[in-house]
Amino acid sequence: MANNIELIGIQSNKIDKQESQMIRRIIDAHSKSQTKEEIIENQMIGLKFSLNNYLNDSIDTKIIEAGKFLNDILSIYNIKKNKFAKYIGLSEPNLHALIKGRRKINNEIARKLELIFDIDAQAWLYIETKNDIKKFNKKNKISDDDYSIQELVA
């Protein structure tokens, strides 16, 4: 069984139902022994991993607004939106618009998020830029065949 545990995520189809249930019980037991701080830290690691994956994914993937990541962080820390909005100097409607993607994270907000949550300000701004490009590409069908250096220098 030890060999199969090492293969989780690689060849998990080789684990039978009984072994899978045993692994689930081990994970559940470990989770219950974690402190609140450890749980938050692990959730933040997962969120940072998701954010990084989004930034590195193809430009053709589904749009995830930067505000969704922020909303997830607020949930992880159990921070009330009205308290957070006041803390960073935003009105509640503006924070709500930011979370829904109707307002963008600007340089000032990105820097505040960096200081509070230890997520680089550039990452927040990269998400906004990537989403702008995705939205532009969706509305404007510019083909790879339309523009090329070979055609330009010919």
Left (φ > 0), alpha (ψ -120 to 50) or beta: where does 104 sit?
beta
For the beta carbon of residue 42, count every other beta carbon within 10 angstroms: 13
Domain 35-139 has CATH 1.10.260.40: yes
pTM: predicted TM-score of the whole model, two decimal places: 0.76
Long-range contacts of residues 115-122, Cβ cutoff 8 Å, at least 24 apart: 116/88, 117/44, 117/73, 119/48, 119/51, 119/73
Question: Which of the four pLDDT bands, split at 50, 70 and 90, describes residue 55?
Answer: very high
- Highest-confidence range of 31-35, 53-57, 123-127, by mean pLDDT? 123-127
56 has pLDDT over 90? yes
Q: What are the residue ranges spanned by the domains of the chain? A: 1-33, 35-139
Higher pLDDT, 28 or 82: 82
pLDDT tens, residue by residue, 88-123: 999 999 999 999 999 999 999 999 999 999 999 999
pLDDT tens, residue by residue, 15-44: 778 887 888 888 777 777 888 899 899 999
